[in-house]
A and B are shown apart, each in its own frame.
Chain A
């Protein structure tokens, strides 16, 4: 099949379910952000009350960037995969060098009044690089641990840079996204066994080197009611907000926990408790349903991908969204420790929003250029 022959096809293949799911989440996200920040003190709204407008701008910018990324055939991206990856790592190094302290962690690069967070984009660069490597390395035999050494290094370098910022959450996401990709590959059983055993040894050692605040978060997760005014404060009040929502919620902008300012970071790390308190169990199910749909749909896209690069890319992008959603919702609901991980399209932040939209765009890209001869539904 000639490439020229595909010219008219992508538009026919426009992935409406993907687009609609992402758009719905984005709309709910902006609405929720409006509510989260419309905390009235006296008669005036809180200082952050206008950030939902900014979020709309970010969505627009990210949407335009996404449209461009979706329009370019991902095989061009494949060609420049390592260049993209190198740029990403380079920007992380720049951050490490500049190390402007923003809220205890140097994660941003400031260009004028505009600041962006390379570690967010790095997740996608990583997925692209690993996809490229696996694309170029097809195997019919099960792989050994040694075969996965190079992609592991590809992940380890940015993860190490991110941990040093320190941003443990993003490093965990990177590792888990890589994990999702590894699940796709066929590994030798003995290799899997060796890996599991070595992890059992390494993790306790890593615990010794974790920073005190990171340790404190984990221990407070294991014992959530020990220190409610200190380290357990976020988790406790997030849980109370969710529980306070009940079946139907308290109504738009009526969440007590949020309105009475018990939810810190209600626009960045904890937008879900605001949503859950206002819309209740029903609303939460709708939102979780949308995320689950998006994630499962990305697996479907991967399964129908034209080539190995597309498949790994789709799984990787889906995994980025999946792990973000699971970690954020999990920490809000108190089933995972509090690590600062954003909720895709719900948390406020330009880098985060743009990254998620680019991930959706890459999914769209793979989806639009799928091979029509396979019947994907049968395969899933």
Chain B
């Protein structure tokens, strides 16, 4: 071959090489231009993105404030709990394409370390396999396997952590109520925020999985208790693994410490709470309050039936929470309702002192006015009954022995009107919320003539007033209202606002804010009348013929008070369960009083729902509460607790 022969061959290409080269140069030129843009012009932007990529802001948990009783004993605190998570993909494997995934030896080890039951293992295994088979993102995410595992399990798992890849133990804080159900309604419980609440609450910094006070003090004082989260910036890689800090990555602060929630010091006395629970243990449902008469501070506030806020607050897992809620809301005795604050009941005979005050203040009667009780009074076409034929009664005996006819006569013969009763009731705080500030407070009902007229299609009958005189009919009160009203009778006419939170404190124990007693109003109680009422209340307990005398004889406590038996409107008669019909048609039993009698310190009110007669069912509970309170007082004063003495 010669060179000359080849030239025509190649000549077809010859002029095109330079176009090819030019095109290639152009392509490289575009690349260079692009790199110039990325690496020189936009370098700062991308450097910022690269830094942001590896910086994560992790939130630092805060601790919820502790709720303590008046002596500093914790009623509601937080404890660490450990939740077990597994990553489904890491404990399963796919042996053959198209076959369902099977569990790895890691899973078998985990099961044996935790001593799980076969049934539970089967259920969990099914769940994990389903998640992996589904194939979505969830198989790579941690799945909550078991909540609140024991310390022993935590220890075993952390010892063997290296042979359990994909298994993680995460510690969380769980609300803990060391006294269990004692004071549950006042304290309240916690619940996990649900998506609907979150829509509102996200602005205040709540996130998924947070717990928030659901009732009681936990709810009302949420903003004080919850504290503020902190955050810290850390370095992570693309898969979220923590890496050591690099200088120059984070501008500005890298950490804001969390602020723990405020602690609350309550006026409640854990011992009194426990004593009330003990005194009420024989009763199914009801409420009791013990209030300091000179300040309105609540020493004890118990509603029955109770519940264990530990179960509701999520410590033992979501299943337990669900079951507990189901139990709580299917129970006909309504354990969720705070019967001291949210329930309004007719006061029955405990109302009589206030009717008496209405008559005395208007000068319609004096202490010597007497009526004769034959066991009933016919008024208009109706017959109004009394508990027995009391014979001749003055005011003192009418209150002590609880004669209804005397009070019927105040309306029928002495001119006591509905509005007079309502006026006195209003002064003692009835018909209005007390302002305790926890739970959904009922205002009760203090009917006036106008109100009754409206309610009854424009007709007002004097019979309504006759009923109202003995605390029946439309009048309803709450346990707390009655306790504060009796406290006002006891202290000579000062109606206090109830107080349950005494002070807000820092986690370190410094007082941030202390709450002073607040007077709602003066009731203009004439000392003469106070003495009259007081002596009648004292006789009701300590004299033969007094409605609480039989109980007092056994317990012998220094207390003055009034029993009450409030008729209930008949309901639930259609039920086939006769026992239930019987129970729900029984009267409410009341006792309201104060102690000690010479210089009253506490007012006590007990309501036994459908308990029957006040003297038989409420008085023993109330007197036991006062007795326990007396014992505590002695003990704290350093005196020996007295021996049980039986008065003849």
Q: Determine chain B's interface SS by DSSP, over half rule.
A: helix
Q: Is the CB of A311 within 8 A of B13?
A: yes
B2 at the interface (CB under 8 A from A): yes
Q: Is the CB of B14 within 8 A of A303?
A: yes
Q: Is the CB of B53 within 8 A of A240?
A: yes
Q: Is the CB of B12 within 8 A of A245?
A: no
B162 at the interface (CB under 8 A from A): no
Closest to A333 in B: B34
Given A257-B50, A380-B18, check contact A307 B6 (CB 8 Å): yes
A56 at the interface (CB under 8 A from B): no
B239 at the interface (CB under 8 A from A): yes
Contact with A along B260-291 (1 / 0, CB 8 A): 00000000000000000000000000000000
B54 at the interface (CB under 8 A from A): yes
A302 at the interface (CB under 8 A from B): yes
A243 at the interface (CB under 8 A from B): yes
Contact with B along A160-182 (1 / 0, CB 8 A): 00000000000000000000100
Q: Is the CB of A308 within 8 A of B36?
A: no
* Chain B residues near A138 (CB-CB < 8 A): 8-9, 12
Q: Is the CB of A335 within 8 A of B1?
A: no
Q: Is the CB of A292 within 8 A of B28?
A: yes
B16 at the interface (CB under 8 A from A): yes
B644 at the interface (CB under 8 A from A): no
B155 at the interface (CB under 8 A from A): no
Q: Which of A290-332 contact B (CB under 8 A)?
A: 291-292, 295-296, 299, 302-303, 305-308, 311-312, 315, 322, 326, 329-330
Interface segment among A190-198, A277-285, A354-362: the answer is A277-285
Given A247-B39, A307-B10, check contact A180 B54 (CB 8 Å): no
Q: Is the CB of B6 within 8 A of A247?
A: no
Q: Which of A185, A239, A243 contacts B47 (CB 8 A)?
A: A243
Q: Is the CB of B13 within 8 A of A308?
A: yes
* Chain A residues near B50 (CB-CB < 8 A): 240-241, 243-244, 256-257, 262
Given A260-B54, A326-B27, check contact A281 B12 (CB 8 Å): no
A256 to B247, CA, bound (A): 13
Q: Is the CB of B38 within 8 A of A242?
A: yes
* Chain A residues near B47 (CB-CB < 8 A): 243-244, 246
A280 to B46, CA, bound (A): 13
B20 at the interface (CB under 8 A from A): yes
* Chain B residues near A285 (CB-CB < 8 A): 32, 35
A184 at the interface (CB under 8 A from B): yes
A94 at the interface (CB under 8 A from B): no
A305 to B17, CA, bound (A): 12
* Chain B residues near A276 (CB-CB < 8 A): 35, 39
Q: Is the CB of A243 within 8 A of B17?
A: no
Closest to B53 in A: A262
Given A140-B12, A185-B12, A244-B46, check contact A284 B238 (CB 8 Å): no
Q: Is the CB of A243 within 8 A of B21?
A: no
Q: Is the CB of B46 within 8 A of A243?
A: yes
A367 to chain B, nearest CB (A): 14
Size bin of chain A's contact surface: 35 or more
Size bin of chain B's contact surface: 35 or more
* Chain A residues near B53 (CB-CB < 8 A): 237, 240, 256-257, 260, 262
A3 to chain B, nearest CB (A): 9
Q: Which of B30, B35, B49 contacts A281 (CB 8 A)?
A: B35
* Chain A residues near B36 (CB-CB < 8 A): 281
Q: Is the CB of A296 within 8 A of B21?
A: yes
* Chain A residues near B16 (CB-CB < 8 A): 183-186
By CB atoms of chain B within 10 A, which of A138, A180, A184, A241 has the most? A184
* Chain A residues near B42 (CB-CB < 8 A): 243
Closest to B39 in A: A281
A306 to B4, CA, bound (A): 11
Given A296-B21, A303-B14, check contact A240 B49 (CB 8 Å): yes
Q: Is the CB of A246 within 8 A of B6?
A: no
A275 to B3, CA, bound (A): 46
A270 to B24, CA, bound (A): 22
* Chain A residues near B45 (CB-CB < 8 A): 243
A41 to B242, CA, bound (A): 9
Q: Is the CB of B6 within 8 A of A296?
A: no
Q: Is the CB of A299 within 8 A of B20?
A: yes
Q: Is the CB of B46 within 8 A of A240?
A: yes
B139 to chain A, nearest CB (A): 17
* Chain B residues near A322 (CB-CB < 8 A): 24, 27
B43 at the interface (CB under 8 A from A): yes
B25 at the interface (CB under 8 A from A): yes
Q: Is the CB of B46 within 8 A of A239?
A: yes
Closest to A247 in B: B40
* Chain B residues near A371 (CB-CB < 8 A): 3, 6
B526 at the interface (CB under 8 A from A): no
Closest to B32 in A: A288
A10 at the interface (CB under 8 A from B): no
Q: Which of A244, A260, A306, A312 contacts B237 (CB 8 A)?
A: A260
List the interface of chain A (C-beta within 8 A of B).
1, 41, 138-140, 180, 183-186, 237, 239-247, 256-257, 259-262, 276, 280-281, 284-285, 288, 291-292, 295-296, 299, 302-303, 305-308, 311-312, 315, 322, 326, 329-330, 333-335, 371, 373-374, 379-380
4 shortest A-B CB distances, which residue pairs? A243-B46, A260-B237, A281-B39, A244-B50
Can you identify 25 A-B contacts, CB atoms within 8 angstroms? A184-B20, A185-B16, A239-B38, A240-B50, A244-B46, A244-B47, A244-B50, A245-B43, A246-B40, A257-B53, A260-B235, A260-B237, A261-B238, A261-B239, A276-B39, A281-B36, A288-B28, A288-B31, A288-B35, A292-B24, A306-B6, A312-B13, A335-B30, A371-B6, A374-B3
